[in-house]
Amino acid sequence: MATAMGALAATSLTPVPAAATFPGDLGLGRRRAAVSGWRAGGRRLRASPPARRPFLFSPRGVSDSRSSQTCLDPDASTSVLGIILGGGAGTRLYPLTKKRAKPAVPLRANYRLIDIPVSNCLNSNVSKIYVLTQFNSASLNRHLSRAYGNNIAGYKNEGFVEVLAAQQSPENPNWFQGTADAVRQYMWLFEEHNIMEFLILAGDHLYRMDYQKFIQAHRETDADITVAALPMDEQRATAFGLMKIDDEGRIVEFAEKPKGEKLRSMMVDTTILGLDPERAKELPYIASMGIYVFSKDVMLRLLRENFPAANDFGSEVIPGATEIGLRVQAYLYDGYWEDIGTIEAFYNANLGITKKPVPDFSFYDRSAPIYTQPRYLPPSKVLDADVTDSVIGEGCVIKHCTINHSVVGLRSCISEGAVIEDSLLMGADYYETEDDKKVLSENGGIPIGIGKNAHIRKAIIDKNARIGENVKIINFDNVQEAVRETEGYFIKSGIVTVIKDALIPSGTII
């Protein structure tokens, strides 16, 4: 049974209930014909010509708030196909991506990045999910099959979570060239599903979102494409692709990381999307989150007819769709969201779970749990250790040491006298037996885990690393960037990252 594991607790994966239905229209604008206007293959039946009527724009229709209600007809389990994009080679997250795909990178002691979008889908009643990947996909495939492979198919709507790897074919001899190209290459499979919309997601974002509200806004505004938008201030806006909207929330312009006058020209009235006037003044820009809802017929036409050579959704397909007159709407998401694309962002997102009194992103939300692979590990054992402001994963053995403001991953073994500060330990994939450790000791080897009297500060220790006795990983010279792959570590943004399966000899000082 797939589970959602908190720092020291587990929650069973149970079938996600169908979306609640409410009598009557919510009054959020025009509703797309549900059953009668949905023909085989998911194509909408439009009147000819499709005259647009004015509609009342409500914050509930375009924002992700807890008070919003959803009334999807047909519901998401039968009418929506989730497509999670695994991303590229993950070079900015290297060396964490040296032996795994980016979505398979461990997260916050017990999880992996891919668990976030998959859990959001399941909690939103989206139970048909494909994950597209092409780099180092073995660990991702293994995790998804163990976590979700035997559970989703039992749902009444025959849900699934399946991995689709890049492949060459006579029609297309190339690997995935980008987000749009990846979807195009498997469109022959996606179009077989009798659904209304495609939900396009990224596999390396940290957030909690009810996609049903997202889909509902798409239908009620009669959009062809809906783009999730994050409100932000001027300081952050320069690092994102920004969008400009009209007074109906329709996207009319895009700008990639604008500065100066171009940046100021992208300011919008975010009250249109549901922000209150005070917050709208603080956050006058909206950035694309890389999360989209496409109507099925629109997606097929865009990728095959309008833009058959386009590789990317964000920079090519969606701006092109606005230019040819399609209705591209913005949907406001005003909550915690982090793109975990760099070592620094990954480090901060992980240590964020230790924030007091409540972390920005919590795994303790019973109404929308985060699921992961069931590992059936024993409770962690803490023997005479000083642990403060930290999170300890499952199955750890911690002896007579000090841990402060750190995240300790599953199966971690920390020996006597060790000091762990401001660090992320990913743990191990397996336990070594006492016989294994005895053989290692007799041959001068180092067991998996943190050795006696080691001192680790502001570091990421990847899985199965062997840290010897009296090792100091403290970035003594405050180096910001360094490549020491042959020695088992990298330094990026001042954060030391020890490579998976690396061995750091006793007495080493980094």
Output the pLDDT for position 380: 96
In this prediction the pTM is 0.83
Output the pLDDT for position 69: 60
Output the pLDDT for position 164: 86
End-to-end CA distance of the chain: 42
- Full DSSP string of 436-462: HHHHHHHTT---SEEPTT-EEESEEE-
Output the pLDDT for position 44: 45
> Which DSSP letter does residue 352 get?
G
Domains defined along the chain, listed by start? 80-354 (3.90.550.10), 381-504 (2.160.10.10)
The H or E element that residue 363 is part of is none
Residue 257 to residues 25, 211, 253, 311, Cα–Cα distance (Å) = 39, 27, 13, 19
Output the pLDDT for position 284: 94
Q: How far apart are CA 178 and CA 456, in angstroms?
A: 38
Output the pLDDT for position 31: 37
Output the pLDDT for position 172: 66
Query: pLDDT tens per residue, the chain (510 residues)?
Result: 444 333 333 343 433 343 333 333 333 333 333 333 443 344 444 444 444 444 433 333 344 444 446 678 888 989 999 999 987 777 899 999 998 988 999 999 999 999 999 999 999 999 999 999 877 888 888 999 888 876 554 445 578 998 888 776 666 667 788 888 889 988 999 999 999 999 999 999 999 999 999 999 999 999 999 999 999 999 999 989 999 999 999 999 999 889 999 999 999 999 999 899 999 999 999 999 999 999 999 999 999 999 998 999 988 999 999 999 999 999 999 999 999 989 999 999 999 999 888 898 988 888 899 999 999 999 999 999 999 999 999 999 999 999 999 999 999 999 999 999 999 999 999 999 989 988 998 888 999 999 999 999 999 999 999 999 999 999 989 999 999 999 999 999 999 999 999 999 999 999
